[in-house]
Amino acid sequence: MPTASNYAKPLPRLTPLTQPFWDHAKAGRLAVQACGECGDLHFPPSPVCPKCLSAKQEWRTVSGRGTLMSWVVFHRAYWDGFKDELPYPVCLVELAEGPLLATNFGRGMTGEPKVGAPVHVVFEPATDAITLPQFVVD
Amino acid sequence: MADTIDLKNTAAVIGVGTTRYGSFPETDDYGLAAEAFITAVGDCGINKNEVDGLLVCRIPYYARMGEILGLNPRWTMTLPGHGRMSGMGIIEAALALATGRARYVALLYANIGRSRRVNYGGEEASGFWDPWGLTSPGATHAMMFRRHAALYGTTTRQLAEVSVAFRHHASLNPNAVMRVPITIDDHENSRFIVEPLRLLDYCLINDGAVCMIMTTAERARDFKKPPVVIAGVGGQESYDNASIANFDIDFWYEPTRRAGEEAYAMAGISHSDIAALMCYDNFSPTVLFALEGLGFCPRGESGRFVEGGALKVGGRLPMNTDGGHLSNSYMQGWALNVEAVRQVRGECGPRQVRDAELVQFVEATPCCRSIIYARG
Ligand SMILES: [Zn+2]
């Protein structure tokens, strides 16, 4: 398993705001931020609730199910670390609970993805500390 | 006091200036902006010391710009180098003029992205989604286009019509960067950058600068050229998915519609009055989205609308008659506003649209804006 020092692709910037997301992912859970006041679910995490402005924010595990909204294939590497993977796909998933995620297709994807397809989360360890949530078509 | 100030026909563009476009490592943002300013001053014949409002965009330091041009204005505004800022800046200048904060505003934009090798993605634009490899505004336009194609059946050959029409206009524009005409097949055979978008769906990256000089409609009559007034403006932001930069899951449909409706209502006109449309075109799909948002065609039908060279001068709706960002110059909306002014003045030579009395600018971006230019 690579460590941060020998992993070539970009790693997340860990902050008090984002750390819980990555802790959940490492434990095999997909979590988004939930407002402790009005219950709004949002992502990426925010210091206050975009709906009611409450600072009382929690993390909630979600179903990991969603809909494929779109996908693209990069034929250019904007980071050297992606050069060996060209061409690589990136997709957009709308979670059943609402938030929109940019992510990758995970292991076990077969066939041409279709916009609107139902998808579910899988977890791909990137380094000893970071696990990336990815998605495959059901 | 009324709760709104009606901006209709209150502000006018009296002078415009554009530089040559290309790669100019021997100069910088300030040098290019000064060149555009001098051209715009000559275009209207103003004494430059009359300029008491300064708006700069993508220029590092407004005060240094003022020092270089020998200006100590009463009003200054600085905007970041985001494409969506041109429409915003011009409307802000109109407001400053209408409220007397300034009498003559110089708006300056400069870009040195070519000579300084700007990538518009990766490290220089880091964001939350970097670990998954999502970066660059082209990628999010590719996302939107794939979705538009899936929902409405829009094809890449239809998308190609945008690039082909704008390149045709660039071939008629001696100052454009890319002047060799292209075909739909050329588009279809160009290499993918972020699939489904290809090289010919992407804007240029080049150095250059643009200047506009604005004043009130009354004062505008005292200058060299017939004034071009701002007949209507509208705006609406869409920040809900801002962490996915340059993206809207609904193609900026509603905010573009609102910006357009506001501008048409203020000007007291409708679509059929518009002789030419200048549309922010960092990537070709946003041109389709803008056509739908403004209501030039029903939702989902922009692909069919643009077929058969509809966007060329002489076609159904001439668009981006200077060649746009795709083929003229990447001046992030500013050169398109200058082109609108030149069309209304009738200065466009072989690419001139007949009877161009009303020309519209639009940007379908996270900050949608529309501006309608008219003969003063
Ligand atoms: Zn809340």
Q: Kindly report, residue by residue over B140-161, the tens digit of the pLDDT.
A: 999 999 999 999 999 999 999 9
- Residue A92, pLDDT above cutoff 70: yes
Rounded percentage of chain B residues whose pLDDT exceeds 90: 95
Q: Which of B30, B264, B330, B373 is catalytic?
A: B330
Measure B141 CA to nearest chain A CA, in Å. Answer: 10
A42 CB-near residues (< 8 Å, 6+ apart):
A32, A33, A35, A49, A50, A51, A99
pLDDT single digits (tens) B19-28: 999 999 999 9
Would residue B330 show up in a list of annotated catalytic residues for this protein? yes
Q: Are residues B275 and B162 in the same domain?
A: yes
Is the domain of B219 the same as that of B250? no
Cα separation, B205 vs B282, in Å, equals 10
> What does the pLDDT read at residue B1?
45
Do both B212 and B182 map to the same domain? no
Query: ipTM exceeding 0.95?
Result: yes
Q: How many CA atoms lie within 13 A of B64 on its CB side?
A: 8
**Maximal C-alpha separation, chain B:** 60
pTM for this predicted structure: 0.97
Please check whether residue A13 lies inside any domain of the structure: no
Residue B126 placed within a domain: no
Decide if B348 is inside a domain. yes
Residue A116 and residue B150: Cβ atoms within 8 Å?
A: yes
Residue A2 lies in a domain: no
Is residue B187 included in any domain, yes or no?
yes
Asked if residue B327 is part of any domain, the answer here is yes
Question: Around Cβ A81, how many Cβ atoms within 10 Å?
Answer: 15
Q: Is residue A44 part of a domain?
A: yes
Number of domains in chain A: 1
Whether A115 and B196 lie within 8 Å, measured CB to CB: no
On whether residue A4 sits in a domain, the answer given is no
Domain residue limits at B156: 135-204+233-376
The CA-atom distances, in angstroms, between A46 and each of A32, A55, B112, B247, B374 are 10, 9, 34, 19, 44
Whether B149 is covered by a domain: the verdict is yes
User: According to the model, what pLDDT value does residue A52 have?
Assistant: 98
- Output the pLDDT for position B3: 62
3-state secondary structure B34-62: HHHHHHHHHHHCCCHHHCCEEEEECCCCH
Q: How far is CA A128 from the centre of its chain?
A: 17
3-state helix, strand, coil in chain A (%, to 5): 10, 35, 50
Same domain, B311 and B373: yes
Domain end (from B172, B190, B225): B225
Residues B46 and B173 in one domain: no
Chain mean pLDDT for chain B: 97
Give the contacts of B306 (CB within 8 A, at least 6 positions apart).
B158, B161, B162, B165, B287, B288, B291
Q: What is the pLDDT of residues A49-73, one digit of tens each?
A: 999 999 999 999 999 999 999 999 9
| Distance of residue A23 Cα from the nearest chain B Cα, in angstroms | 15
In a domain, B125, yes or no: no
What pLDDT shows up at residue A86? 97
Q: Span B282-289, mean pLDDT?
A: 98
- Confidence band of B120 (pLDDT split at 50, 70, 90): confident
Is B331 a member of any domain? yes
Containing structural domain, residue A98: 19-137
A11 touches chain B (CB under 8 A): yes
Whether residue B294 sits in one domain with residue B267: yes
Among the listed residues B104, B109, B280, B373, the single catalytic one is B280
Cα–Cα distance, B82 to A82 (Å, whole number): 26
Average pLDDT over residues B89-93: 98
Q: Are residues B36 and B25 in the same domain?
A: yes
**How many domains does one find in chain B?**
2
pLDDT of res. A1: 83
Three-state secondary structure call for residue B147: helix
Check residues B187 and A109 and name the one with the higher pLDDT.
B187
- We report the CATH number of the domain holding residue B169 as 3.40.47.10
Residues B48 and B187 in one domain: no
Under a CB-based contact definition with an 8 Å cutoff, are residues B204 and B329 in contact?
yes
B116-120, B247-251, B316-320 — which is least confidently predicted? B116-120
| B199 close contact with A: CB closer than 8 A | no
With a cut of 60, say whether residue B2 has pLDDT above it.
no
Question: Could you tell me if B98 and B199 lie in one domain?
Answer: no
- B373: annotated active-site residue: no
| Mean pLDDT within B270-291 | 98
pLDDT for residue B329: 97
Torsion of CA B336, B342, B345, B348, to 10 degrees: -120
> Do both B106 and B197 map to the same domain?
no
User: Residue B370 pLDDT > 70, yes or no?
Assistant: yes
In a domain, A5, yes or no: no
